[in-house]
Amino acid sequence: MKTAQLHSIFLEFPEICTDTRKIKENSIFFALKGDNFNGNKYASEALKNGAAYAVIDEKEFAISDQHILVDDVLVALQELASFHRNYSGAKVIGLTGSNGKTTTKELINAVLSKKYRTIATKGNLNNHIGVPLTLLAIEEDTEIAIVEMGANHQKEIEFLCSLAQPDFGYITNFGKAHIEGFGSEEGVIKGKSELYDYLIKNGKHIFMNGDDSIQSQKLGSYIKKYGFSSDQKEFYTIEFLSANPFVKASVENQVIESQLIGSYNFTNCAAAILMGKYFNVPLTDIKTAIESYAPSNNRSQIITHKGHQIILDAYNANPTSMTAALNNFSQMEGESKIAFLGDMFELGSIASIEHGNIADLASQLNFDTTLVGENFNRISTNLKKHSSFDELKKSLKDKPLPPKSLILIKGSRGMALERILDYI
């Protein structure tokens, strides 16, 4: 079936499902394949559960008119998404970077939705499947779509741009993330900059951090760039005031007080403020949106748990974000300060060096630190360390923490360090 024909069906049944456990009535089921599953085998089940159609790519499963046979289900999903993006009148903002993508995306959405009908990437569905699903969530009245793009190797952002075709773009930063796939920090910069390459090639608009030397160097004299800065006159002035613990900023003599901890969240707020100004959202609405946004899903949350104040930042970690979190934690006031740091994944050949660097920093900052995971366990350090969560769990049961502690929990998603809350 041709993409235009499939799109006509999609307009009638605009709900997309890829999991038979989450089938919605009158949806279209896309029978994706993975290393350990074949969605074609579940196509008939999806139809029985209420799907209107099932898109498959193995002829033997095409047993009714409700089965739509294509050459490759994933490619069909991606081509349908790109077709729909062009069919829609919505403007698309592409967003990538090493750290802060999801928080920045949520802030931008909070600000722009004050004036426009917006949609944004759900959670962190930012890969070759998630981006198409986001594009297919664009509705007839959607004016702006904020599309988060993740990558762990070269050419991935380039491909996602070919699908989303962004009108605007922003890169949060360049950090030590996914080194295993990118090969080096230079590889990270090159890979993430594929968003810039697309925007510049197509004469599109770029938002930037004017105080970031890498971004400034990359964009040079490009005309269609709009930046924020604390002191450069060519850019919109947004001043960082403090982060003790929540980020405060000054914009046009107004103070904006966020619910985000750490100075590293200032640029995330600033990007959302800049885009709000560009799209003519009143500053009072921008202020309300930033101040009302509260983080969730283990991302820089401050919670109170059994008398302890906890900075729960267990969604992800890399050397750049870990360093920022530790430095911020060192600025916070608390009688008993305790950090639990979990392994950082996808660092490849630099894993040992970077875990050692983080351990050295934590030692210098001089609070009670416990390291968790195989990578941390391999390095030489005077800090407490456990090779697994089970080891840590036993330690927490044997030796309770001091009452009313200030606690930082930070690690890669695979470590799932939020489980610590069950044992303190």
CA atoms within 13 A on the CB side of 314: 22
pLDDT tens across 213-257, in order? 999 999 999 999 999 999 888 999 999 999 888 999 999 999 999
Please state, in angstroms and rounded to a whole number, the distance separating the CA atoms of residues 230 and 209: 10
What pLDDT does residue 262 have? 87
Cβ-contact 409, 314 below 8 angstroms: yes
pTM of the model: 0.88
Residues 122-137 as b or e (16 or more Cβ within 10 Å = b) = eebbbbbbbbbbbbbb
Reading phi first (left if > 0) and then psi (alpha if -120 to 50, else beta), residue 239 is in beta
Other CB atoms within 10 A of residue 399 CB: 7
Give the pLDDT score at 182: 73
Q: Per-residue pLDDT tens for 87-132?
A: 999 999 999 998 889 999 999 999 999 999 999 999 889 999 999 9
pLDDT for 316 beyond 90: no
Closest CA to 261 of 210, 212, 333: 333
Annotation: CATH topology of 301-423: Protein-Tyrosine Phosphatase; Chain A (3.90.190)
Q: What is the pLDDT of residue 342?
A: 97
13 neighbors 53 (Cβ within 8 angstroms)? yes
User: What pLDDT is attached to residue 295?
Assistant: 86
Mean pLDDT of 51-74: 96
Q: Which of 193-202, 276-285, 307-316 has the lowest mean pLDDT?
A: 307-316
Mean pLDDT over residues 302-318, rounded? 91
Which tokens belong to 159? 């491909």
Question: Which band of pLDDT confidence, cut at 50, 70 and 90, is reported for residue 402?
Answer: very high
How is domain 88-292 classified at the CATH fold level? UDP-N-acetylmuramoyl-L-alanine:D-glutamate ligase (3.40.1190)
Q: Is the Cα torsion angle 166, 169, 172, 174 positive or negative in sign?
A: positive
Q: Where are the domains of the chain?
A: 3-71, 88-292, 301-423
The rounded mean pLDDT for the chain is 94
Given a cut of 80, whether residue 175 has pLDDT beyond it is: no
| pLDDT score recorded for residue 343 | 97
The pLDDT value given to residue 78: 98
Q: Class assignment of domain 3-71?
A: alpha beta
The answer to whether residue 180 scores a pLDDT higher than 80 is: no
Query: What dihedral do alpha carbons 421, 360, 268, 409 form, nearest 10°?
Result: 0
Cis peptide preceding 295, ω within 30 of 0: no
Residue 181 pLDDT > 80: no
**pLDDT at residue 7 above 90?**
yes
Q: Which sign does the torsion angle of CA 117, 123, 126, 130 carry?
A: negative
pLDDT tens sequence across 346-379:
898 899 999 999 999 999 998 999 999 999 999 9
User: What's the pLDDT at 110?
Assistant: 98
Confidence of residue 186 (pLDDT cuts 50, 70, 90): confident
**pLDDT of res. 355:** 97
pLDDT at 215: 95
In this prediction, what percent of the chain has a pLDDT beyond 70? 99
Residue 49 CA to residue 6 CA, distance in Å, equals 21
